């Protein structure tokens, strides 16, 4: 994210519906990431407002990381990588072909709350397989400041890399501990090798990058 290219805009507040509901689901090492697919018994987590064209419903979230602390995030800020990044993938309710991804950077710290449930079971999916996961709180994975984010139209970072995605990247990161990051770095891909799963940073080309503040 090249901060010199940004256009500043203000939009309505970004609303997270049912992000405070306790969820359970399935966590899987699929050979190229750790992905969680929540099961919804009541209201599904949704996002709306914040300049979106429709309401979007969460379908899965997954993680990207590297083997060293200066790499791992799929986006860079002024050329610098964070050690990990979370992508919460949402599908449009009106037009399901449209995808909205919320991106959250991770920084190293002492608070293990954000990824406590996921990291409790990572040792059971060192090789590609799935495992039930309980008591997920999505709210814990979002920064406290949700009024400031970068926004651009782009593609998914995993195949088929479709160009139908509204990217929303929070400016404030969330904390991951060194021991939690070590658990991700211990995971294997389908060939048995240690997994690192961030792709090289893609150019924005003519896409507009916005720094968005909510009213």
CB 104 within 8 A of CB 143: yes
Identify the active-site residue in 32, 64, 90, 193.
32
Transcribe 160-188 into DSSP letters. Answer: T--S-EEEEEESS-EEE-HHHHHHHHT-B
188 catalytic? Reply is no
| Residues comprising the chain, all counted | 215
Query: According to DSSP H, which parts of 67-155 are helical?
Result: 116-121
- Cross-strand pairs, 108: 176
Give the distance from CA 198 to its chain's centroid.
Answer: 12
Query: Catalytic positions, please?
Result: 32
């Amino acid at each position: 994210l090249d901060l010199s290219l940004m256009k500043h805009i203000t939009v309505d507040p970004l609303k997270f519906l049912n992000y405070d509901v306790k969820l359970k689901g399935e966590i899987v090492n699929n050979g190229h990431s750790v992905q969680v697919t929540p099961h919804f018994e009541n209201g599904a987590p949704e996002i709306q407002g914040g300049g979106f064209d429709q309401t979007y419903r969460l379908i899965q979230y997954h993680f990207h990381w590297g083997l060293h602390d200066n790499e791992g995030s799929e986006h860079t800020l002024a050329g610098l990588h964070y050690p990990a990044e979370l992508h919460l993938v949402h599908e449009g309710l009106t037009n399901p072909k449209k995808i909205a991804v919320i991106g959250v950077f991770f920084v190293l710290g002492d608070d293990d709350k954000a990824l406590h449930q996921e990291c409790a079971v990572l040792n059971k999916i060192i090789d590609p397989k799935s495992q039930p996961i309980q008591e997920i709180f999505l709210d814990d994975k979002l920064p406290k400041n949700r009024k400031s984010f970068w926004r651009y139209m782009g593609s998914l970072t995993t195949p088929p890399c479709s160009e139908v995605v509204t990217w929303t990247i929070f400016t404030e990161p969330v904390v991951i501990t060194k021991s939690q990051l070590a658990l991700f770095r211990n995971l294997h891909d389908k060939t048995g090798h240690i997994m690192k799963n961030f792709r090289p940073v893609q150019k924005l080309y003519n896409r507009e990058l916005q720094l968005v503040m909510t009213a």
